[in-house]
Amino acid sequence: MKFICLLLLTACGIKDSRSEQYEVIRAAVAVFASVGDDVILPCSGKPNISVVDMRVEWRRSDLKDSLVHLYEDHEDRETEQNESYRGRTQLIHPELQRGNASLRLSSVKVSDEGRYKCIIGSESSKHEATVDLTVEALGWPPVITIDGFNPSGGLRLQCESEGWYPEPHLEWLNHEGVSLRPETTETHQKAGMFSIKHTIIVYHSDDKIHCRVKLKHHMLEAQIITSREVFKTWRTTAVLISVIVVFSGFAAMMFAVLLHKYRENRQLKIENKRLKQELDQLLQSQKTPEVTLDAGDSGKTCHTGPEDKEILVDNADP
């Protein structure tokens, strides 16, 4: 009887010892994924004992509905799973026999970035470890455009790209790989994605300029060659613009002079017309009135008296 009790106590001690020694291994480094990829979040126990009969939980502490995936009673349960993960998570069931409870996450989104917790065990005995997931979104290839010349003859180049996550780093390099300092920098964020735009001024011809946009794991690049012909075109354009400006100024001055002369002549004509009308009125007022004598008025003289009245004078009277 004592022997049987001793065996039972020994067995219980071995079981407790295994329970105390068992642990979930934490990932040594963060797991990286690009948007749209599938990724494996590692989780396994030590020693490699089967977890088929255990409860396996995956959670995110920064989410209100933190349950990412639940395996219990030999099946996956989705009733309490966070809606954004539904249909995108899966345990590799054959691996459960080897103690591997890693989670496959498909079609990774930017919102999936965060810290995940893997919990293995029962309500009375749980073992857990965390794994960090970092996500990057590869944006559109950068585009370089020529934005004209500045007043001193420098060529203004503009490079822009969008659709990146997290915020990317944009740099300009010459043909020797030397970094060029940008003149202006703009960064915008929309719907979680970043767009970036830099402008530089180039004064050297026959140079290969690179625009490079990069994240930790991704990089895209564009390049442009600033030939002498471009700067010759600017000089020709600058001279032509100068000639046009001078000609335009001269033409504007001549137009102003002609307009002034036109206004003076028009005013003079108006004044002459007014004086002519006044003169005609004056001459009309001093005109001699017409007199008509009847046959019976022979021998009489007509004089104009006061108030322009006609007076007949008989010349026969002494």
Confirm whether 295 is domain-assigned.
no
User: How much is the mean pLDDT over the chain?
Assistant: 80
Confirm whether 312 is domain-assigned.
no
Domain boundary among 177, 211, 226: 226
- Evaluate whether 136 touches 169 at the Cβ level (below 8 Å): no
Q: Are residues 90 and 150 in the same domain?
A: no
State the CATH number of the domain containing residue 217.
2.60.40.10
Confirm whether 81 is domain-assigned.
yes
Residues 45, 51, 55, CA angle at the centre, nearest 5°? 105
Q: Are residues 96 and 153 in the same domain?
A: no
Domain boundary among 202, 226, 250: 226
Q: Are residues 184 and 118 in the same domain?
A: no
Lookup result for tokens 């996500």: 135
Domain boundary among 72, 104, 136: 136
Confirm whether 285 is domain-assigned.
no
Q: Are residues 123 and 160 in the same domain?
A: no
**Nearest to 172, CA basis, from 226, 218, 210, 145:** 210
Confirm whether 66 is domain-assigned.
yes
- Evaluate whether 52 touches 96 at the Cβ level (below 8 Å): yes
Lookup result for tokens 């749980």: 126
Confirm whether 283 is domain-assigned.
no
Q: Are residues 32 and 88 in the same domain?
A: yes
Confirm whether 7 is domain-assigned.
no
Q: Are residues 52 and 72 in the same domain?
A: yes
- Evaluate whether 136 touches 165 at the Cβ level (below 8 Å): yes
Q: Are residues 132 and 147 in the same domain?
A: no
Confirm whether 234 is domain-assigned.
no
Q: Are residues 81 and 149 in the same domain?
A: no
Q: Are residues 217 and 123 in the same domain?
A: no
- Give phi and psi for 91, each to the nearest 5: -85, 150
pLDDT in tens, the chain (318 residues): 443 443 343 444 434 444 457 788 777 788 999 999 999 999 998 788 899 999 999 999 888 888 999 999 999 998 889 999 999 999 999 999 999 999 999 999 999 999 999 999 876 788 889 999 999 999 999 999 988 888 777 889 999 999 999 999 999 999 888 999 999 999 999 989 999 999 999 887 667 899 999 999 999 999 998 876 655 565 555 545 555 666 677 778 888 878 878 888 888 888 888 878 877 777 777 765 555 555 555 555 555 555 554 454 454 444
N- to C-terminal Cα separation, the chain: 199
Give the CA count within 13 Å in the CB-facing half-sphere of 278: 6
Q: State pTM to two decimals.
A: 0.63
Q: Are residues 129 and 25 in the same domain?
A: yes
The tally of domains found in the chain comes to 2
Going by C-beta distance under 8 Å and a sequence separation of 6 or more, which residues neighbour residue 226? Answer: 155, 157, 202, 204, 205, 206, 207, 209
| The pLDDT value given to residue 282 | 78
Range of the domain at 164: 143-226
